[in-house]
Chain A
Amino acid sequence: MNYTFQFGVALESLPALLRAGILTVELSFFAFWGGALIGLAGAAAKTFGGPVVSRLAQAYVVFFTNTPALLQIYLLYYGLPEVGIILPSFTCVLLGLTLNAGAYLTEIQRAGFLSVRLTEIEAAETLGMSLWQQIRFVIVPHIAKTIYPPLANMFLILVLGSSMAAVFSVDELTGTAINISTETYRWLEMFTLVAGVYIILTFVASIMLAVVGRKFFRVKARMF
């Protein structure tokens, strides 16, 4: 390889990259929690909704888990203005990522619902717990422990997936890297640096998630 790395310009843009990193974290954070709420509703619909509601939820999951997230965002980006909804790029991307995550999180949370053991609920009942107490002391902790690892995984996938926002000129990490590179022509250095920032982001997130998982949910999470 004859390429000579010159990290000078790339390193100068490090502060800008870190600022952009905040946007990346924001995107993935909101998409995750929004998706978790959609997923909760979806999982409830699939598990307890009658034939109609559960099929609607299933159709949503099938569509969003069988088409690329990028395409889904494109559909929103060009489709919504046609029906009179004009959103800023950031919001549009966030919406797309959220809907996409919601579909996966539906399946994850449904697995959580199904993992609750009827026998534990019966034990709770005979100990005199009300429905609310059963939910609070038995059902939710049980679901939380079961779904914590896939949830944590989903969050990391979203951190990386938020780079799709660059296509829609949202200046998160990847977008910012593209912008700076078009001025400096140091593409390779820039993206090497950005790769490092992504790794640091997911590294920190993994450790935080593992610590929280071990402490609160007794999840034996691997750090890597």
Chain B
Amino acid sequence: MHHLKITNLSSAYGKNVVLTDVSLTVDKGQVISLVGPSGSGKSTLLRVLVGLTPPTGGTVEIQGELINYNSKSSIKLSRDRMAIVFQQYNLFQNMDVMGNVTIAPIKIKKRDRKEVEAEAEDLLERVGLADKLTAYPDQLSGGQQQRVAIARALALQPDLLLLDEVTSALDPELVTEVLDTIRRLASDGMTMIIVSHEMGFVREISDQVVMMDEGRIIERGLPAEIFDKPTTDRAREFFGKILRH
């Protein structure tokens, strides 16, 4: 059984088709990277998975269970298993770091505060922010905020972590600290789908790379295959452009 199985997933905003017949499987512990030009549907795919954008067709199964995106309770269950980290971190500005990380486990999952806070401290330690527990988002750098966002996602103990261009909004010198955090997660066995433009990183960390264009998957394979021997013209052109600099 696959950890996540996406079959013929489609989505559209009004008449704009943004995803067409996307099929993808992810096994436990795998890191899958989605690459491709802006607007190719990578982020939309993640948004559909977590129920922020409704699908127009296809199915998603997580650990063998079908998610019904027309049902609020089914979406809620899927959110217990999948956590997403956004490009713009999207931290709650009115809460300190500890508050951001613990609000969902305490208030939504109704877990014991002390236990959750102890776990949160461990998580923040893992992302290198043990000394920022009482800081507010506006007192942190972008890289620090993004690491808080990762800790917040991990606090839900997800089976699958979705990372949506998590370094795209960061200054270059802050990218490394976030990538290091993700590397550590990968080596701990976290199952992840990563949307990224950091090609060197993608190549190094991914078990499989999936290239998307105009809402479709046009190529997939091991990182070396995709980067060194792309089979489609579109992929060759794309990698030609971004790998040149």
Residues of A within 8 A of B (CB): 117, 119-120, 122-129, 133, 137-138, 141-142, 145, 218
Contact = CB atoms under 8 A, between A and B. Distances in A.
Contact of B90 (A122, A129, A142, A145): A122
Contact of A127 (B93, B94, B103): B103
25 contacts: A117-B93, A119-B88, A119-B90, A120-B91, A120-B93, A123-B90, A123-B92, A124-B92, A125-B52, A126-B52, A126-B83, A127-B152, A128-B79, A128-B80, A128-B109, A129-B104, A137-B107, A138-B92, A138-B94, A142-B92, A142-B93, A142-B94, A145-B94, A218-B94, A218-B136
A141 B156 contact: no
Contacts of A138: 92, 94
Which 9 residue pairs are nearest across A and B when measured between Cβ atoms?
A: A123-B90, A127-B104, A141-B94, A119-B90, A128-B79, A128-B108, A126-B50, A126-B84, A119-B88
Nearest to A119: B90
B192 to A, nearest CB: 15
A128 B76 contact: yes
Contact of A120 (B92, B107, B109, B156): B92
A12 to B, nearest CB: 51
B69 interface: no
B86 A127 contact: no
Contacts of A119: 86, 88, 90
A127 B101 CA distance: 10
Contacts of B136: 218
B90 A133 contact: no
B52 A128 contact: no
Interface string B69-98: 000000010011001101010111111000
Given A133-B108, A137-B103, A127 B88 contact: no
B60 to A, nearest CB: 15
A128 B152 CA distance: 12
Q: Is the interface of B mostly helix, strand, loop or mixed?
A: loop
A123 B107 contact: no
A38 to B, nearest CB: 26
A139 B136 CA distance: 17
A138 B104 CA distance: 12
Given A128-B109, A142-B93, 20 more contacts: A117-B90, A119-B88, A123-B90, A123-B92, A123-B149, A126-B51, A126-B83, A127-B79, A127-B83, A127-B103, A127-B104, A127-B152, A127-B156, A128-B76, A128-B80, A128-B104, A129-B107, A137-B103, A141-B94, A142-B94
Nearest to B49: A126
A120 B93 CA distance: 8
B156 A128 contact: yes
Which one of A123, A126, A138, A142 has the highest number of Cβ atoms from chain B below 10 Å of its Cβ? Answer: A126
Contacts of B86: 119, 122-123
Contacts of B93: 117, 120, 142, 145
Contact of A133 (B51, B91, B107): B107
A20 to B, nearest CB: 40
Contacts of B90: 117, 119-120, 122-123
A121 to B, nearest CB: 9
A126 B92 contact: no
Contacts of A129: 104, 107-108
Contacts of B94: 138, 141-142, 145, 218
Given A137-B103, A137-B107, A142-B94, A122 B80 contact: no
Contacts of B76: 128
Contacts of A123: 86, 90-92, 149
Nearest to B152: A127
A126 B163 CA distance: 13
A126 B85 CA distance: 9
Nearest to B109: A128
A119 B88 CA distance: 8
Of A123, A124, A127, chain B has the most CB atoms within 10 Å of the CB of: A127
